[in-house]
Structure 1
Amino acid sequence: MTSLSHNEDKDQMNWIEGKRLWGEVVCPAAIHVEIKREFTKDGNLRESFQFTNNTSFPVFLEKTDLGIYTTFNDNYQEASECLEKRCHTHIFCGEEASYVMALRMSGRGPHLGMKFLKGSVLSYSVERNLEQRSNDRGDFILHPHIAKLEPEAGIEIQRELFWFETKEEFYEELLRTQGFPVVFPDQCTYFKGESMRFKIAIRDTGKKEAVRLQYNGMNIPYRAEVKDGIRWISAYLLADREGEYRIDIQAEGKKTFLCLYCCAVLDKMAERRCRFLALKQQMHDVSSHLDGAYLIYDREEDSIYYSHQDDHNGGRERLAMGSIMAFWQRLHPDGELKKSLEKYERYVYRELYDREKGTVYNDICHNLEWNRLYNYPWMAQFQLELYKLKGEGEYLMDAYKVMEQYYMQGGISFYGIGIPVTELYKELEGAGMGSEAGRILSFAERHADNVLQNGVHYPESEVAYEQSIVAPAVSILLQGYEITRNTAYLDEAKRQLKVLSLFNGRQPDYHLFENAIRHWDGFWFGKYRRYGDTFPHYWSVLTGVEYIRYEILTGDSRYRKRAAASIRGCLNLFFPDGFASSAMVFPEKINGEAGHYYDPWANDQDWALYYALKYRSFLEDISFDLEK
């Protein structure tokens, strides 16, 4: 197929546009493929792929030997083009209960869904147009699981496409399918000691078909009840060890799974990480401009790494390491970590910041080959943490100067990440610096006015359209409302929060559950420099932070569990030994190269842990009672 649109769609979006054709098949020459398509009585489009071994010998197949191009139209141009003519593609390779939820980027229905009726899918790969760099998510290749085919034997893979208006309608369509189990986790990431709770829904047939839930070969007890024709299976498991919990599910003859994750409690995780930073990631060489810097750590080489190349240098996003060290020192003073932080502070003030001008440099030696506005809010956040730690007013003035420079250099129209404007405003007011507070208020108001005027016509940045453009827009509006109480900002933030939420899926896998679609960070920040979906990437937490900010300002707690899931969902990037990975590159293969790995570089991911600590009460104070 070359095109698929809804006949009542005013924009006539082509949902299956890709570089390759929808339904093209990858398979060994020994396998014959026959493809059939037909419309069902419900108006769904059913596709059947019959794989047959036409040889006299058995054919054994490895994981990616078979593939079906499934080219949902998920790439990035300017927002005005993306919002109505592109989709966010949420894939769950859930064995015999696999599905895809494709959401138009504006949130306007109808949306396009896919469910698998026959056969099993274990993983997906992507083929990207590398000329588009970060702006093409790629053509998806779904991999049917067929281990071997005997001579003349065949296996059918059958799937169905359907339109839906809401996420609720999507799941209702899945549950109309006989024997299709749908897994609904409460969260997918838990702290040690919590109860990991989940439900499985399946259409009730009146038969008492056995349901089997297993973890590590052990059966998990459950309770079942039927409500409105749906059989609900409820179960829980204690999170008593760190790591992955894969729960194998068999219901109505179909197999699927749930992947959960247990991490250490936040204090333990933060202490491990800070000690690792001090021990493994700090440069000690008084003859070097990098003396005192927290740098990339290469786990494979067991060494720190630096390059003047932007995303590998001694500044920019890596200011997260200083911010989390300062935050942690405020909570739990420690002599050795204090020395490490003080040495890092001397490095930052020597190499990356001009105290007189408020200039933030891109790299050591006051390098300003790229005067990157993103760097300014991160520097201000670090300085605010130093101010809260030490109580010395010069750090607050530094943060003020940095944000003043940010706004004076074009920040009014720039959607910076992690802008701490209300935090700075409140600290300035509390310190009796009314003039500076008033100036920051004025900047924040002008910034929010600009976002209000733009609406959803988001400006392009280093990526044409992405989650960390929409999240800052919501943040600027909500912070503007917090300072000014202009309800126009709040109303617009509420509208754009819905656009932001579309980046997040709810697949029952801790890599995917409420983690925003991002697909370029492994290339720019990872050792292997490989594009491809990053599930998770740490900036996914920005969505959760704005959910929390919205709740604080409005009292609306509907986003509470989603906020916790968004921020918790990035904590699998932090390992028990204190190492942390810059990104988890999720697809099985990317342009033929191996994927599905945690990158061996600890680079810039510490912002995820920083925000987890900052908003810990929202992560820890949530109900796990599924009846609510």
Structure 2
Amino acid sequence: MLSEASLLIAACICTANATQYLQSRSFRIGVDTDTGALLSIVHPKDNASMSWISGPDNTPWQPLGSRWGLGCVDLGPLHRSFWQRPEIRVTDTTMSAAYTLDGLQIDVTRTVKNEDDVMEECFAFTNTGNESLTLDAEGAESFAIYTPFNDHYTSTTDVLENRAHAHVWANGGASSWVKLTRMGLRGPHLGLVLTEGGLQGYSIEGRSRVTLSNTRGVFLLHPNMPTLESGETRRVCWEMFWHEDWDEFFEVAMQRSSQFLHVEADRWTSVAGEAVNLTVSGQRADEVVSDGLDFVADGTASFSTSLQTDEPGEQEITLTIGEGKNQTNSTIVLNVVPDIDKLIANRAKFIAQNQQLGTDFSDQSKAGAYAVYDNQMEDIVTFETSSDRNTGRERVGMGVLIARWLQENPDNPQIETSLRTYYDYVTNKLQEADGYVRSWPIGAARADTSLRLYNWPWVMQLHLQMAKLGDLPTTSHGNSTATPTQRLLTTVERFYSEPSAIDYYPINLPILESITYLRQTGNEEAATRLLHLFTTHGQRIAEIGAHYPSAEVNYEQSIIAPATIILLELYLSTNETSWLDAAHGHFARLEAFSGRQPDFHLHDIAIRHWDGYWFGKDRLWGDTFPHYWSTLTGIAMGYYALAIGEEGYAARAEGIFRGNLVLFDQSGRGYSSFVYPVTVDGRPGHYADPYANDQDWALAHLLAMRAWL
């Protein structure tokens, strides 16, 4: 005869594919009674009824087997097992799902608690075999829980109300967490904090030429679990809660988890010889120990320490609480770089010596160009046919960097000769005599003359920097002799003659710097002319407001950043407060892309997750922390600091620029991006892609902002 519990279980099993709900005053959670996966997490009072996780209603492309709370584990060679078919029990406020694998039992419990306004989720793993079991024996990626956060770029209208930025800190061991922020900023937002067990990273699945750049993919969290002896059970638990901002997120996380540690640093990337000051807060912060560090109380639950950083390289610091089986280890990650000026000098020399094709190169469409370099092959890449690897477009950043560097280091004839050869290449092969900027060089086999307005401000930047190097006239196309200043003016005016330019959100439009330069050199008429064009563009951006147009990605940091920067540069150029007023909302939406994880790869580095595919050698999708365009947020923060007089933003801007220095080594090599996840679609990650492609914009931006900060 069946027990009451068995009858309840049977009742649930027979209603396969039905959805039941856990409900409290703070949560409404959809449960798939067939698999035990969560289908939705909604705040009951949210007028938009946004689900903070991916499910069938908001992410129809998501595979059924990668829904929330399902998972996989390698139990031996050719023995990857997925937990998907449970015995399940659901009430109004609780659910349990029991999954039986070969030698492993997984028991999942979820409870919504009215008294605490939280949802608790626990995964208990029991070794039911006779031998010990190491669930991550083949690496972190061999043991994973699916947690598909709703981080996708559909359309501006949709994302601002119905999608979230997922700031994931899964490399923190016992002190791991996730902060979700609605892209439109309307709270409350969802947070997750680990309360038992540990994590050792995250992976991404579901990225391909089908999903392209507009979804961040499906997240998998990797538990960090010791070997399970026969009959032993260990758990990974977290709680979810609502919050309004970062301060409240950290405050509630500290209240909900005794193993959570909130770590702040005055710098996450230091120059060798600098001290780094750390502050650690948490319920048990008074128990924290770490090799070689002495913690001093500076508040009720706050302790500080200082460490000297001498040797360049990544430094992982473990913070330990307790002993024996009660011990928890939490991790933070710092970076130490050599002298920044020397690093930039080495990079400029490396480009001139190793990344420039000779003027006698057989393919004259590339002769004299700065080009992509393969750090594994140790040679220039001349065989690529992709536009994101050609000798135009973003590669102009190499010339801009060297031109900026020569302004501070003028006595370098060999590098200046290299630059002037490159400038001749740009004016003859990438730009027409009338100022039109090409996406492919003249004479290239592909001969693609399509309009890509992104390219134009980069050529403007190069003309401006060459003007600052002496404004020497050069000849292009046989008979067009002009100074860089004249070419700057021609390029700007030709840009705005394109009907679509006024609605475009270009990266690196040199408003403040060009207006300042023209005024300083007494060319008021030209300054006025350009300011009129820039003003018209700015007025259009202010008018559009939050209704951002889609570009190469539907909604991204490098759409919001140009809107912010253009308006701030107009304010700093004119002192008209209407520009600053228009910039505030854009700045807030831009800032939402940046997280505050205790890792230099992530801290304040904007979410980007497609650049490794388009610009890297390995063509790997997935989160790039950092990628050089994250420095656009640094530029915006720097200008915002100048505009409102808030030095904290200037310090954060400096931190972003420094965070991107991991893309360069001491010999001057560059790396296009750092692919951060443990794996992406099963391919190993957490490495710097070996192509030196476009990353030099990061250094160019660092030098540019020195003049203002």
Classify the TM-score, shorter chain.
over 0.9
Q: Is 258-267 or 421-430 further displaced after alignment?
A: 421-430
Q: Alignment partner for residue 26 of structure 1, among 69, 72, 81?
A: 72
**Root mean square deviation of aligned Cα:** 1.7
Aligned to 1:357, the other structure's residue is in SS state coil
- The equivalent of 1:395 in structure 2 is 484
Q: How far apart, in 2, do the equivalents of 1:551 and 1:154 lie? A: 52
- The equivalent of 1:346 in structure 2 is 424
Q: Is residue 207–residue 621 contact of structure 2 (8 Å, CA) maintained in 1?
A: no
1:266 aligns with 2:340: yes
- The equivalent of 1:247 in structure 2 is 317
- C-alpha displacement at 1:618, in angstroms? 7.0
Q: How far apart, in 1, do the equivalents of 2:634 and 2:167 lie? A: 18
Q: Alignment partner for residue 438 of structure 1, among 528, 543, 547?
A: 528
| Number of residue-to-residue matches in the alignment | 608
Aligned to 1:275, the other structure's residue is in SS state helix
- The equivalent of 2:49 in structure 1 is 12
- C-alpha displacement at 1:139, in angstroms? 1.1
* Structure ranking higher on relative contact order (CA contacts 8 Å, 6+ apart): 1
1:408 aligns with 2:483: no
- C-alpha displacement at 1:147, in angstroms? 4.3
Deviation digits for residues 549-573 of structure 1 (CA, Å, limit 9, x no counterpart): 1222332323122111122111111
Q: How far apart, in 1, do the equivalents of 2:632 and 2:287 lie? A: 42
1:56 aligns with 2:146: no
Q: Is residue 266–residue 613 contact of structure 1 (8 Å, CA) maintained in 2?
A: no
- The equivalent of 1:319 in structure 2 is 396
Q: How far apart, in 2, do the equivalents of 1:339 and 1:437 lie? A: 30
1:160 aligns with 2:239: yes
- The equivalent of 2:456 in structure 1 is 376
Q: Is 569-578 or 337-346 further displaced after alignment?
A: 337-346
Instruction: For 1:575, give the aligned amino acid.
Output: D
Q: How far apart, in 1, do the equivalents of 2:708 and 2:283 lie? A: 35
- C-alpha displacement at 1:383, in angstroms? 0.9
Aligned to 2:596, the other structure's residue is in SS state coil
Instruction: For 1:427, give the aligned amino acid.
Output: Y
Q: Is residue 284–residue 321 contact of structure 2 (8 Å, CA) maintained in 1?
A: no
- C-alpha displacement at 1:225, in angstroms? 3.5
- C-alpha displacement at 1:544, in angstroms? 1.0
Q: How far apart, in 2, do the equivalents of 1:226 and 1:490 lie? A: 37
Q: Is residue 403–residue 466 contact of structure 2 (8 Å, CA) maintained in 1?
A: yes
Mapping 1:462-473, distance limit 5 Å:
462-473=552-563
Aligned to 1:359, the other structure's residue is in SS state coil
Q: How far apart, in 2, do the equivalents of 1:91 and 1:403 lie? A: 41
Deviation digits for residues 385-420 of structure 1 (CA, Å, limit 9, x no counterpart): 111012337101101111112121122110000110
**How has the CA–CA distance of structure 1 residues 556 and 226 changed in structure 2, closer, same or farther, with 3 Å as cutoff?**
closer
Q: Is 390-399 or 448-457 further displaced after alignment?
A: 390-399
Q: How far apart, in 2, do the equivalents of 1:599 and 1:492 lie? A: 38
1:300 aligns with 2:376: yes
Q: Is residue 412–residue 443 contact of structure 1 (8 Å, CA) maintained in 2?
A: no
Deviation digits for residues 74-114 of structure 1 (CA, Å, limit 9, x no counterpart): 01011111111111101111101110000111111100000
Instruction: For 2:629, give the aligned amino acid.
Output: W
Q: Is residue 195–residue 259 contact of structure 2 (8 Å, CA) maintained in 1?
A: no
Q: How far apart, in 1, do the equivalents of 2:589 and 2:235 lie? A: 38
Aligned to 1:424, the other structure's residue is in SS state helix
Q: Is residue 400–residue 465 contact of structure 2 (8 Å, CA) maintained in 1?
A: yes
Q: Is 100-109 or 62-71 further displaced after alignment?
A: 62-71
**How has the CA–CA distance of structure 1 residues 211 and 560 changed in structure 2, closer, same or farther, with 3 Å as cutoff?**
same
- The equivalent of 2:295 in structure 1 is 222
**How has the CA–CA distance of structure 1 residues 262 and 507 changed in structure 2, closer, same or farther, with 3 Å as cutoff?**
same
- C-alpha displacement at 1:357, in angstroms? 0.2
- C-alpha displacement at 1:242, in angstroms? 1.0
Instruction: For 1:283, give the aligned amino acid.
Output: L
Q: How far apart, in 2, do the equivalents of 1:154 and 1:553 lie? A: 56
Q: Is residue 675–residue 685 contact of structure 2 (8 Å, CA) maintained in 1?
A: yes
Q: Alignment partner for residue 137 of structure 1, among 197, 207, 216?
A: 216
Q: Is residue 196–residue 259 contact of structure 2 (8 Å, CA) maintained in 1?
A: no
Instruction: For 2:403, give the aligned amino acid.
Output: A
Q: How far apart, in 2, do the equivalents of 1:92 and 1:617 lie? A: 34
Q: Is residue 193–residue 260 contact of structure 2 (8 Å, CA) maintained in 1?
A: no
1:547 aligns with 2:637: yes
Q: How far apart, in 2, do the equivalents of 1:553 and 1:561 lie? A: 14
Q: How far apart, in 2, do the equivalents of 1:272 and 1:204 lie? A: 45
Deviation digits for residues 17-52 of structure 1 (CA, Å, limit 9, x no counterpart): 242321112123432211111123302100110112
1:530 aligns with 2:609: no
Q: Alignment partner for residue 46 of structure 1, among 120, 124, 146?
A: 120
Gaps of 5+ in 1: 620-628
Instruction: For 2:220, give the aligned amino acid.
Output: I
Q: Is 542-551 or 577-586 further displaced after alignment?
A: 542-551
- C-alpha displacement at 1:422, in angstroms? 2.4
1:114 aligns with 2:184: no
Give the TM-score taking structure 2 as reference length.
0.83
Aligned to 1:444, the other structure's residue is in SS state helix
- The equivalent of 1:72 in structure 2 is 149
Give me the identity figure in percent. Answer: 36
- The equivalent of 1:337 in structure 2 is 415
Instruction: For 1:397, give the aligned amino acid.
Output: Q
1:606 aligns with 2:696: yes
Q: How far apart, in 2, do the equivalents of 1:360 and 1:138 lie? A: 35
Instruction: For 1:407, give the aligned amino acid.
Output: Y
Instruction: For 2:214, give the aligned amino acid.
Output: N
- The equivalent of 2:23 in structure 1 is none
Instruction: For 2:340, give the aligned amino acid.
Output: L
Q: Is residue 380–residue 420 contact of structure 1 (8 Å, CA) maintained in 2?
A: yes
- C-alpha displacement at 1:368, in angstroms? 4.2
Q: How far apart, in 2, do the equivalents of 1:618 and 1:592 lie? A: 44
